[in-house]
């Protein structure tokens, strides 16, 4: 390979799409003559900001390894022309851009795509149009194009949605729609509102959020986004299909145990690997775009960081190694017997490889919830004994005073409130039920997706139930590992006030060893706010209503109603 010492940067290079709209990109390429494979990323966050253009991989270092790196503003964002409709436009625009990059005079004609979050969505949507020059992708911390990214089963990821709209979308959108004088005034207002975004999360009805309503040009994009109009239009392209119906190409999926898109990223791997063995998955103890060794209130060791993965490689080298294989046919970059899955096991804080996900050797084990029999007690026990006939536990869910979000796979403003955090302050509330095992005598590894099977009733027209898996340390600190939520009227197509019903709450994947002296804990509540929109109990949602009613919740522990968690336990 020709040694590359000099890099040329071409700024604001136009790409004209099939409908005449022009998108603009920055191109990093070798000065040395020749043809090179292209690594493309397409983003709505400004290709000229280093935090977005240089943070995920180092384009200079990548070019020096024999690649062209192209970073493009998507339609309707920053330098690019057109109207921005989140997700809707990315399939056709992705095809046109991939084929344009393949036609450049210094391109080898082989294209790979990379990036996280929205610019991983642009990779997945490009598959829908099947551009022939696209040979491999590296989607990181992203959603599944057959799901709603910020909502599902009637539950809205409230803080993520409002934050993304106000912080990520609104500034450039306002600049494009307003005169310079109007924009100066509007951006000052928006900045003030972002400074108090936690308070705005409490505002109802959500559709009339004041930081949006004061800017008429934002009304349509906000309404369409919050009411899932854009998602539905994008989903229409994929109706009734799956990844196998589109382009069957290699993909390296990157996820974090505390990323808001964790479940969907893992779902991408599972669905793609069912039809294409050329898939890899890596999951670290990371949050959304936060891939260091510390997150929340915990440190996982220097080599947990994506900048020093197991002390051997970083994000850029991981990408180069992957694309060398598929764009340069460098088959030596992966041994024939190399395991496709690499996970970080918390608790013991070690990396490990696996041959599949979920792990075939998993022993799914029921741990049952038990009442302690004390009136008004919110604590109980957790063990493998099926309950006989114990008193139910109960609490009042007050949507005016919801259980606050405390850590987890959040996507809040500036990364706030993410990751593992001590749950004791939450567990002291009267609207949280806490079930804890006795301290363990031997280690237990939980790797995979746990599921809570909750036998419960409510006197409300509609309600939510949330569940959280927690690792309780010998000093009683209690760190969250995984969580989930279910909305009553969507779990089985109807709500049944005051009737005992079975609610299945799928928890996000995790990997953790509960060490000797630690305890396994499950927390049950009816809100996790503002991570999710609070259920007002009326059958409506806070998107449209300000009316709220309290709900009396009961959780049952009987032979006929054995509430429990199904833990994916990995044998020694």
* CA atoms of 370 and 400, how far apart (whole Å): 29
Q: Name the burial class of residue 388, with classes exposed (0-12), middle (13-18) and buried (19+) by CB atoms within 10 angstroms of its CB.
A: exposed
Average pLDDT on 23-37 reads: 96
Other CB atoms within a 10 A radius of the CB of residue 153 amount to: 12
Q: Which residues contact 488 (CB under 8 A, 6 or more apart)?
A: 458, 460, 462, 463, 464, 465, 495, 501, 503, 535
Three-class SS state of 481 = strand
pLDDT at position 491 is 73
Residue 503 host element (H or E)? strand 501-506
Q: Which residues contact 350 (CB under 8 A, 6 or more apart)?
A: 344
Residue 331: φ, ψ to 5°? -70, -15
Q: Which residues are catalytic?
A: 117, 259, 288
- For the entire predicted model, the pTM comes to 0.96
Three-class SS state of 146 = coil
**Residue 464, pLDDT above cutoff 60:** yes
Cis peptide before 358 (omega within 30 of 0): yes
**Residue 423, pLDDT above cutoff 60:** yes
Three-class SS state of 243 = helix
Q: Which of 526, 529, 528, 550 is nearest to 538 (CA)?
A: 550
Q: Which of 489, 501, 505, 491 is nearest to 453 (CA)?
A: 505
* CA atoms of 16 and 14, how far apart (whole Å): 6
Q: Which of 165, 13, 181 is nearest to 84 (CA)?
A: 165
Confidence category of residue 497, pLDDT binned at 50, 70, 90 = low
- As given in the structure block, the two tokens for residue 218 are 């934002």
396 close to 431: Cβ distance less than 8 angstroms? yes
At 377-409, the pLDDT tens digits run 689 999 999 999 899 999 999 999 999 999 999
pLDDT at position 233 is 86
Average pLDDT on 25-49 reads: 96
pLDDT at position 241 is 75
Average pLDDT, the chain: 94
Average pLDDT on 136-164 reads: 88
- If you ran DSSP here, which 8-state letter would residue 313 be given? B
Q: Locate tokens 């928890």: which residue?
A: 507
Q: Which of 270, 44, 261 is nearest to 150 (CA)?
A: 261
- As given in the structure block, the two tokens for residue 283 are 């999951």
**Residue 57, pLDDT above cutoff 80:** yes
**Residue 337, pLDDT above cutoff 80:** no
At 68-122, the pLDDT tens digits run 999 999 999 999 999 999 999 999 999 999 999 999 999 999 999 999 999 999 9
- As given in the structure block, the two tokens for residue 405 are 């979000």
* CA atoms of 237 and 117, how far apart (whole Å): 20
**Residue 333, pLDDT above cutoff 60:** no
pLDDT at position 492 is 61
Confidence category of residue 231, pLDDT binned at 50, 70, 90 = confident
Q: Which residues contact 132 (CB under 8 A, 6 or more apart)?
A: 99
pLDDT at position 465 is 97
254 close to 265: Cβ distance less than 8 angstroms? yes
* CA atoms of 405 and 158, how far apart (whole Å): 11
At 556-566, the pLDDT tens digits run 999 999 999 99
Give the N- to C-terminal CA distance of the chain in Å, as an integer.
46
pLDDT at position 377 is 66
**Residue 413, pLDDT above cutoff 70:** yes
- As given in the structure block, the two tokens for residue 50 are 């280093």
**Residue 247, pLDDT above cutoff 90:** no
**Residue 420, pLDDT above cutoff 70:** yes
Helix, strand and coil percent figures for the chain, each rounded to 5 = 25, 35, 40
Pairing of strands 350-354, 363-371: unpaired
Phi-psi region of 522 (alpha: psi -120 to 50; beta: other; left: phi over 0): beta
**Residue 280, pLDDT above cutoff 90:** yes
344 close to 351: Cβ distance less than 8 angstroms? yes
pLDDT at position 555 is 97
pLDDT at position 495 is 54
* CA atoms of 83 and 85, how far apart (whole Å): 6
* CA atoms of 73 and 90, how far apart (whole Å): 11
551 close to 461: Cβ distance less than 8 angstroms? no
Average pLDDT on 122-146 reads: 95
**Residue 244, pLDDT above cutoff 90:** no
**Residue 518, pLDDT above cutoff 60:** yes
Q: Which of 256-270, 372-386, 531-545 has the lowest mean pLDDT?
A: 372-386
Q: Locate tokens 């490009």: which residue?
A: 126
Pairing of strands 564-570, 444-448: antiparallel
**Residue 151, pLDDT above cutoff 90:** no
Dihedral angle computed from the Cα positions of residues 175, 181, 187 and 190, in that order, rounded to the nearest 10 degrees? -110
H, E, C per residue of 55-111: CCCCHHHHHCCCCEEEEEECCCCCCCCCCCCCCCCHHHHHHHHHHHHHHCCCEEEEE
Average pLDDT on 490-498 reads: 63
């Amino acid at each position: 390979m020709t040694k590359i010492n000099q890099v040329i940067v071409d700024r604001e290079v136009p790409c004209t799409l099939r409908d005449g709209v022009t998108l603009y990109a920055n191109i990093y390429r070798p000065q040395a003559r020749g043809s090179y494979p292209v690594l493309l990323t397409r983003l709505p966050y400004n290709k000229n900001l280093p935090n977005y253009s240089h943070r995920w991989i180092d384009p200079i270092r990548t070019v020096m390894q024999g690649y062209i790196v192209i970073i493009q503003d998507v339609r309707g964002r920053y330098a690019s022309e057109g109207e921005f409709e989140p997700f809707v436009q990315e399939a056709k625009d992705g095809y046109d851009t991939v084929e344009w990059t393949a036609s450049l005079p210094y391109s080898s004609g082989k294209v790979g795509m990379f990036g996280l979050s929205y610019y991983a969505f642009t990779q997945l949507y490009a598959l829908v149009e099947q551009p022939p020059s696209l040979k491999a992708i590296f989607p990181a911390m992203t959603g599944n194009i057959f799901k709603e990214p910020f909502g599902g089963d009637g539950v809205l990821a409230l803080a993520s949605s409002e934050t993304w709209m106000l912080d990520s979308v609104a500034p450039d959108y306002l600049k494009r729609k307003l005169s310079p004088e109007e924009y100066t005034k509007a951006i000052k207002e928006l900045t003030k509102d972002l400074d108090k975004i936690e308070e705005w999360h409490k505002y109802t009805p959500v559709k009339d959020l004041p930081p949006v309503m004061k800017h008429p040009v934002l009304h349509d994009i906000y309404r369409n986004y919050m009411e899932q109009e854009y998602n539905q239009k994008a989903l229409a392209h994929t109706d009734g299909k799956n990844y196998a119906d589109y382009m069957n190409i290699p993909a390296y999926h990157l996820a974090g145990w505390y990323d808001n898109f964790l479940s969907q990223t893992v779902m991408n791997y599972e669905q793609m690997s069912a039809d294409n063995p050329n898939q890899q998955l890596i999951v670290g103890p990371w949050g959304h775009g936060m891939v260091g060794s510390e997150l929340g209130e915990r440190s996982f060791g220097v080599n947990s960081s994506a900048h020093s993965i197991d002390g051997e490689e970083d994000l850029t080298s991981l990408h180069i190694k992957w694309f060398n294989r598929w764009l340069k046919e460098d088959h030596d970059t992966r041994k024939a017997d190399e395991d496709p899955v690499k996970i970080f096991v918390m608790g013991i804080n070690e990396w490990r490889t696996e041959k599949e996900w979920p792990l075939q050797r998993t022993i799914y084990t029921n741990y049952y919830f038990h009442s302690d029999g004390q009136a008004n007690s919110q604590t109980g026990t957790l063990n493998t004994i099926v309950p006989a006939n114990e008193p139910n536990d109960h609490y009042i869910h007050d949507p005016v005073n919801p259980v606050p979000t405390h850590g987890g796979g959040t996507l809040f403003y500036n990364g706030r409130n993410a990751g593992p955090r001590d749950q004791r302050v939450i567990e002291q509330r009267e609207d949280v039920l806490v079930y804890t095992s006795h301290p363990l005598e031997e280690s237990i590894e939980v790797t995979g997706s746990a599921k809570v099977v909750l036998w419960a009733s409510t006197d409300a027209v509609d309600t939510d139930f949330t569940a959280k898996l927690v690792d309780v340390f010998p000093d009683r600190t209690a760190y969250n590992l995984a969580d989930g939520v279910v909305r009553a009227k969507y779990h089985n197509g109807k709500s049944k006030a005051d009737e005992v019903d079975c609610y299945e709450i799928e928890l996000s994947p995790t990997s953790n060893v509960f060490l000797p002296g630690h305890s396994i804990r499950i927390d049950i509540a009816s809100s996790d706010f503002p991570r999710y929109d609070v259920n007002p109990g009326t059958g409506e949602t806070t998107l449209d209503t300000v009316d709220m009613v309290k709900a009396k919740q009961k959780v049952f522990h009987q032979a006929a109603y054995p509430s429990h968690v199904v833990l994916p336990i990995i044998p020694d």
